[in-house]
Amino acid sequence: MTLVSKCHPPRPDKGHGMCNACYQKWYRANNLQKLREDGRNKHFKTKYGITADERDALLESQGNKCALCLDPLLRTGPRTHLDHCHTTNTVRGVLCNRCNWHMEKVDSDPTIIDHIKKYKERYANG
2: phi > 0 → left, psi -120 to 50 → alpha, else beta; which?
Answer: beta
Q: Does the pLDDT at position 76 exceed 70?
A: no
How far apart are alpha carbons 55 and 50 in whole angstroms? 7
How high is the pLDDT of residue 92? 93
Residue 126: per-residue pLDDT: 63
Q: Which of 91, 110, 89 is nearest to 81 (CA)?
A: 91
pLDDT at position 111 over 80 = yes
**Predicted local distance difference test score (pLDDT) of residue 108:** 85
Cα 85 vs. chain centroid, distance in angstroms?
Answer: 16
Rounded to two decimals, what is the model's pTM? 0.68
* Nearest Cα to Cα of residue 14 among 5, 26, 6, 1: 5
Query: Could you tell me the residue ranges of all domains in the chain?
Result: 31-122
CATH architecture of the domain 31-122 equals: 3-Layer(aba) Sandwich (3.40)
